[in-house]
Amino acid sequence: MKKKLTTVNFKGTKEQEEKLIAVIDKYAGVRGAMMPILQEAQEIYGYLPIEVQTIIAERTGVALEEIYGIVSFYAQFKLNPDGQIAVAVCLGTACYVKGSGDIVEEFSRLLDIPVGSTSADGKYSLEATRCIGACGLAPVLTVNGEVYGRLTKADVPTILAKYKD
């Protein structure tokens, strides 16, 4: 599942940018430093919007396309911020064979947002994740870190109702 290159209301601060530049400078001349730079950048911003990737590209001399290739390849990197209510559905093997694909599709339908994105109002985000280490409860998902297990597609509206206004 390819990640979309979009940003939702990017609002980086000068302080964040200064921290990012310090991270990039810390790794100047270090071979293989792109992964730690991207990891630390995501810690600073919470995700890696194109604006942040552009700063990294300009300051490291690495092509933006190469940086985007890394960010879009590795599941640990996010191109969109988490919503106030962050839903993450496990699509690891144990969960997937027990129906998590249907569950993530139902969340997408009910929230009216594609997997891997955040709603325009910033309220909801929906991610497909890999194993979260709760295979005995498969299929599982988390909402703002709270784990829900042994789910079916029919459970989705009940879970969402807990987080609606």
For residue 113, give the CATH number of its domain: 3.40.30.10
Asked if the peptide bond before residue 139 counts as cis, ω within 30 degrees of 0, the response is: yes
Residue 114 in domain: yes
* Both tokens assigned to 154: 């029919």
- Shared-domain flag, residues 54 and 92: no
Contact of 160 with 153, CB cutoff 8 Å:
no
Least Cα distance to 8 among 40, 48, 68, 44 occurs for 48
Residue 79 in domain: no
Least Cα distance to 37 among 67, 5, 74 occurs for 67
Q: How many domains does the structure of the chain reveal?
A: 2
The span from the CA of 58 to the CA of 21, in Å, is 11
What is the pLDDT, as a whole number, of residue 98? 97
- Shared-domain flag, residues 60 and 113: no
Length of the chain equals: 165
- Shared-domain flag, residues 155 and 116: yes
Q: What is the pLDDT along the chain (165 residues), one digit of tens a residue?
A: 444 444 446 789 999 999 999 999 999 999 999 999 999 999 999 999 999 999 999 999 999 999 999 998 887 898 888 999 999 999 999 999 999 999 999 999 999 999 988 999 999 999 999 888 899 999 999 999 999 999 999 999 999 999 987
Domain carrying residue 38:
14-73
Question: Which of 48, 73, 98 is the last residue before a domain boundary?
Answer: 73
* Partners of residue 142 on adjacent β-strands: 88, 147
Give the contacts of 130 (CB within 8 A, at least 6 positions apart).
Answer: 75, 90, 91, 92
- Shared-domain flag, residues 89 and 157: yes
Radius of gyration of the chain (CA): 17
* Both tokens assigned to 71: 């960010």
- Shared-domain flag, residues 89 and 154: yes
Question: Which of 36, 51, 73 is the last residue before a domain boundary?
Answer: 73
Residue 7 in domain: no
> Residue 12's CB: how many other CB atoms inside 10 A?
14
- Shared-domain flag, residues 105 and 157: yes
